[in-house]
Amino acid sequence: MTKQVVAETFSELRGSRPWTEGEARRVLASWEASGTTVSEFARGAGIDAQRIYGWRRRLGARAAGASSSAAALVPVVVRDAPSASATGATVWSRAGHRVDVRALDGASAAWAAAVVRALEGERS
């Protein structure tokens, strides 16, 4: 992934006033698109890195707080495997947990989602 320069300085978000959820989502989206660390992004944008960490936790907790009794889709990134193997798959969670599935015969999407939720500490 190539790092991008922060195109927006977010000067209107400097200072101590609280951010709205929309402003926080805009900052988080810009940070994710930058490919940089939170500290690098915050420095380039002229904002406090702790605010980004706080909103990332807050919005992540809100998303995880949704009903987990039903099967859910989870975001994944598909990459070419180093060696072609039709008998397994690797899933990475948002928090960086890796799930290696060696035999796909009995693995459903609901099962993979439940494993990822368990790794994230979410109750099913």
Is the pTM above the cut of 0.85? no
Q: Low-confidence residues of the chain, pLDDT below 50?
A: 1, 63-69, 84-85, 124
Could you count the other beta carbons within 10 Å of the beta carbon of residue 13?
Answer: 19
Domain membership of residue 79 (yes or no) is yes
The reported pLDDT for the residue numbered 120 is 74
pLDDT tens digits along 29-56: 888 888 899 999 998 888 889 999 999 9
Domain membership of residue 3 (yes or no) is no
43 and 74 part of one domain: no
Exposure string over 66-82, b if 16+ CB within 10 A, otherwise e: eeeeeeeebeeeeeeee
Domain coverage including residue 104: 67-124
Domain membership of residue 2 (yes or no) is no
The reported pLDDT for the residue numbered 104 is 62
